[in-house]
Chain A
Amino acid sequence: MSDFVAPLLNGTADGALLLVAALGLALTFGQMGVINMAHGEFLLAGALSAYLTQQVISNNDISIPVALPIAFLVAGVLGLILEATLIRWMYDRPLDTLLVTVGVSLALKQAFLQVYPSGVPVEKPSWLDGQWHVFGYAWPLRQVFTIVLALGCLIGLGAALKYTSFGRRIRATVQNRALAETMGISTLTIDRITFFVGSGLAGIGGVAASLIGGTNSELGAKYIIPAFLVVVAGGLGQLKGTVIAAWAVGVGSAFLADWTNGSLAQVIVFALVVVFLQVKPQGLFTVRTRGLA
């Protein structure tokens, strides 16, 4: 039983972390067509915020909950700066945003490496020390915390998209940018806010990642490609595709790693995504619109 439960639960936690990383990407990629390779470094910024918060607030039980909004803000503002300085000039050539953000990602990563060559240790709060016994498997609470956090982000984002006027504007822009503009929606402002929220989510993901593994300059590089694969497999414009894909990649990798080993699992998951795209080239779900874009 434990052979089955352990990878399932671990994989779900991995998937949850991937989901937080991928949600922001899905938002910016899906709405604006921007491929932000620096998203991984925004995760790093989130992890760094957690570390710095702990330097100020020594009580770890409080510092992590405090760090979450701070990380969101820090990464979000980084995203805003990126949008305002570089990305706004290249909305008409989406593939080039990839190259520009590769440059940003290289520079940010190097800056982190220079200031913190050996990474930053983020301490776990004591209330995450324990385990939760599920079907005979001692599930570390920090994994449960990741899932709770991911669900929180998902529900928050989903509700915001569905029930607020801001969310309606975002969805309108995704579905048909030109028509949204003619309806008086300032797509420029919407894009900017979307980029802020998407990048901010990366910050939250960074806090979660720092609690699970170590935090060094490779943190972003570790998550960016799997997160993009999740977005690609999940399809653009809808959250449910991203959710299912993240969970499938997380659990799939965990089982495959259990049966073979971690690196072979990575290769197989990649192959599976390519095969999956044979069946669904647009990803799991796509928004069908009359817009030609």
Chain B
Amino acid sequence: MSALLQAKWEPLRSKWGPLLGIAVLGVLLLVFAPAVLSDFRLNNLAKYCCWALVAVGIGLAWGRGGMLVMGQGVFFGLGAYAMGMHLSLEASDGTTPVFMILYDPTTGLPAYWAPFKSGAFTIFAIIVAPIFIAGILGFAIFKRKVKGAYFAILTQALAVALATLITSKIQWTGGDTGLTDFKTFFGADLADSDTSLMIYLITAGLLLACLLVVWQLYRSRFGELLVATRDAEERVRFLGHDPANVKLFAFVVAAVMASIGGAMFVPIVGIISPKEIGAAASIFMIAGVAVGGRAALFGPALGALAIGYGRSSLSEQWPNGWVYFLGGLFIVVTLLLPGGLTSLFGRLRAQLRPRSAAAEPAAKPATADGMAG
């Protein structure tokens, strides 16, 4: 490629390349996958897409914002339980769900369950509840400049606390068993394979939409401010911005994405229990992001899809080995490849590029790789 062509190509690539990538992923997920995969595989892929939704948010908060969110299970759980309550009520025709009657035959429907009879309210809750909770928590934490490990520990503690709380309130949440026995999804029969296809398409579509959102965020001024806050919070403050607001926004967006992922998880898997939102689950959600590349656009989503697939296929035949594998991944990736697998492409490209061209963007890698904690 001549130097002139390269000079024309480079800005085009960096501007529209990601969009092209999203389009390719869209064709793969929306057209290719339904055409070739069996119902069972497609349902699994839908589940991985839910984790990928969470991962996109984590990539925004952690990769670009430097906030290690170790408790995304909380927001995943908010969305999932909102959806689970709605589907339980659909299954019981708006009367008290069976598990509550089994626990206490005299019980009525708790007041806070009642609004979830409405599908519109459920969707509203799935979006607004995480905004509300993440907003308050983030405001409290970021305004007081609590960050780094403190922040990570606090979010993890929140996930532990919520999982324990849900486990203990058996009469309202189904306890350890969780919410299950759903029959319909907004009126569509869950046993029907067309319904699972529809749910899969919705989930994959939401994943693509979230990727578009973060793509737009990353190339906006906000995206630059977020990276600046990650790398030099004090300087951002000196420049007259309030880093707390920047971080708060990223944290809230990540929370909403986790909540959407959780909500779609419920009709796909057919059950939601505290196990899916506790400390271990929250750590699992980070794994894909770390492996894929936390600061990259596609890294978190692809990583989460891969880890999800790995969990299903490895843990079936080799349940103990899977945990060692996951632990080993954390160690190896963090130690040797903090930018994740996608950073390999960047390194490869830098290797292949002619020396003269490589010398020019030499100042860039610090922002592109995003190693800073």
Contact = CB atoms under 8 A, between A and B. Distances in A.
A240 to B, nearest CB: 19
A95 B152 contact: yes
A99 B164 CA distance: 23
Interface string B332-362: 0011001000000000000000000000000
A89 B280 CA distance: 26
A277 interface: yes
Given A274-B154, A278-B140, A281-B144, A99 B165 contact: no
Given A263-B168, A270-B158, A281-B144, A232 B150 contact: yes
Interface stretch (B78-86, B184-192, B320-328): B320-328
13 contacts: A35-B149, A94-B373, A95-B373, A99-B290, A105-B327, A106-B326, A225-B160, A263-B168, A266-B160, A270-B154, A274-B154, A278-B140, A278-B144
A16 to B, nearest CB: 21
B324, B326, B330: most-surrounded residue (chain A CB, <10 A): B330
Interface string B134-161: 0001001100111011101110111011
A107 B160 contact: no
A106, A107, A109, A229: most-surrounded residue (chain B CB, <10 A): A106
Interface string A92-112: 011110111011111101100
Contacts, number: 119
A86 interface: yes
Interface residues of B, number: 43
Interface in A98-131: 98-100, 102-107, 109-110, 114
Given A86-B335, A228-B157, A232-B154, A221 B279 contact: yes
B148 A106 contact: no
Q: Which 3 A-B pairs have the closest CB atoms?
A: A103-B330, A95-B373, A106-B327
A229 B283 CA distance: 18
B286 interface: yes
A103 B334 contact: yes
Contacts of A33: 149
A95 B68 contact: yes
Interface residues of A, number: 41
Interface in A243-293: 261-264, 266-267, 270, 273-275, 277-278, 281
Contacts of B290: 99
B327 A225 contact: no
B168 A225 contact: no
A29 interface: yes
B89 to A, nearest CB: 25
Given A90-B334, A274-B140, 8 more contacts: A33-B149, A86-B331, A90-B335, A99-B286, A99-B330, A107-B327, A228-B153, A281-B144
A100 B68 CA distance: 13
A267 B329 contact: no
Interface string B276-296: 000110010010001000000
B144 A232 contact: no
B305 to A, nearest CB: 20
B164 A267 contact: yes
A93 to B, nearest CB: 5
Nearest to B329: A103
A99 B285 CA distance: 12
A96 B66 CA distance: 11
A131 B25 CA distance: 66
B123 interface: no
Given A110-B320, A262-B168, A267 B161 contact: yes
Contact of B338 (A96, A264, A281): A96
Contact of A232 (B153, B283, B286, B323): B153
